[in-house]
Amino acid sequence: DADVTQTPRNRITKTGKRIMLECSQTKGHDRMYWYRQDPGLGLRLIYYSFDVKDINKGEISDGYSVSRQAQAKFSLSLESAIPNQTALYFCATSDVTVNQPQHFGDGTRLSIL
């Protein structure tokens, strides 16, 4: 089983819909992250959480919200999806020790029509 699991893997939906992307991990890491990846723009940070009670905005948080339900679970929500949120979304985790590598799930491909 994958250490970082994202669901769903693919999603097609319509403008205005509420969408939740879920991430769960078995690595025992305290830190979790959400990134989006767009062609030509690379990976950009949306939100991150250093522990269950900590939530921080990243570079591009507008239009998104997150929930850290447990150490192992971190969800990303789009309250009212718009077409320019079409992208590949990745969840990542890292150990609490400073400057450890981040470990990624295999992503959710989200298309908003």
Give the residues lining the site for another protein (CB under 8 A): 4, 33, 35, 40-45, 48, 58, 90, 92, 98-99, 101-107
- The answer to whether residues 27 and 93 touch, using CB atoms and an 8 Å cutoff, is yes
For residue 15, the minimal CB distance to another protein (Å) is 25
> Which of 42, 84 has the CB closer to another protein?
42
For residue 97, the minimal CB distance to another protein (Å) is 10
CA 74 to chain centre: 7
Query: Which two structure tokens, joined as six digits, stand for 73?
Result: 């679970």
> Which of 84, 99 has the CB closer to another protein?
99
> Which of 43, 52 has the CB closer to another protein?
43
Q: Which CA distances in Å does 110 have to 4, 11, 50, 99?
A: 18, 5, 25, 30
- Which is nearest to 111 in space by CA: 36, 51, 44? 36
For residue 79, the minimal CB distance to another protein (Å) is 23
